[in-house]
Chains A and B, each alone.
Chain A
Amino acid sequence: MKYSPRLYGLLYHMTSNHEDANDLLQDVFAKAYRSITGFRGKSSFYTWLHSIGVNMTINFLKKRGRRHTLSLDDVDSGIQNDKEFIEMTAGSTPIREANLNELQQRLNEAMMKLSEEHRAVVTMFDIQGMPHAEISKIMGVSEGTVRSRLFYAHRQLQNFLEEFRN
């Protein structure tokens, strides 16, 4: 279960809902348990597990459609000591005055407006810090496609969060 925190992070940031992420996490572990003989060691176990998670989450989100509610996980108190957070809130930035929870909610809403594939790429690259090559293996697409999806997703998020500028 050492894979649980990162896998949960992926599922949570793709669904923006704790209950859905929890159910999906259990389903992903169950599927991995049943399919463990299919793991050939061509990629790392982590990559294999994440590819199951991404595929199951995309299918779940496509079936669910637009019916979703946001449920926010607690923001860890460690954020107060995060260097980037301190820099962002101390300087004159568009989000300086924004309440942290409100900011979190706005960002999650913006994320949910992205397509499932774009959200998956943003989650893995920007939030979890995975390299392009690993994301391409997990999603079964080329690195060029990953970069293109990232570029397009960033443009969309910037448009959705434009109001923070004012």
Chain B
Amino acid sequence: MLDEKNLQTLLRLKRHEMPPPGYHERVLQEFHRRQQAELLRRPLWQIALDRAQNFFGEHRPMQYAYAAGAAVAVALAAAVSIQSFQPVNSRSMAEIAASETVAAQAPEEAFRAPAGRFADAPPRYVLDSRPVSYEPPYSF
């Protein structure tokens, strides 16, 4: 049997096994050629999938889960706060536009008191109005 020393020497001699001369100079050219051929041969979705797999393989998903969770929380909070600051009886622009159209077409209809609970009460514009003579005189 070969002893340990001889075996190690024999194995070290294998480092003299070399590829054909000029091989390492051509490696870069071959690399570029293969990369171009690969891009032309493969469908776009496959390249995108491959790159996505690489991306998620290299980056731990937990890092992004925290950021995504925080973004969702901020978006939800913004949506809730916008809803809560809106007036309850606010009318939409369409309703306002429709009522203005009605007023323009029939002014007397628009100023008619609403039917219902205040139907018997005098019109509001009568109560709120004051005679001109009640205006305090300007004094200097």
Contact = CB atoms under 8 A, between A and B. Distances in A.
B1 A82 contact: no
Nearest to B4: A154
Contacts of B59: 37-38
A1 to B, nearest CB: 5
Given A34-B54, A35-B58, A158-B1, A127 B15 contact: yes
Contact of B11 (A76, A79, A107): A107
Contacts of A35: 54, 57-58
Given A12-B17, A34-B54, A4 B8 contact: no
Interface string A35-54: 10110000000000000000
Nearest to B55: A37
A79 B17 CA distance: 9
Contacts of B34: 26, 30
Interface residues of A, number: 50
Interface of B: 1-4, 6-20, 23-24, 27-28, 30-31, 34-35, 38, 50-51, 54-55, 57-59
Interface of A: 1, 4-5, 8-9, 12-13, 18, 21-22, 25-26, 29-30, 33-35, 37-38, 72-76, 78-79, 82, 84-85, 87-88, 93-95, 103-104, 107, 122, 126-129, 154, 157-159, 161-162, 164-165
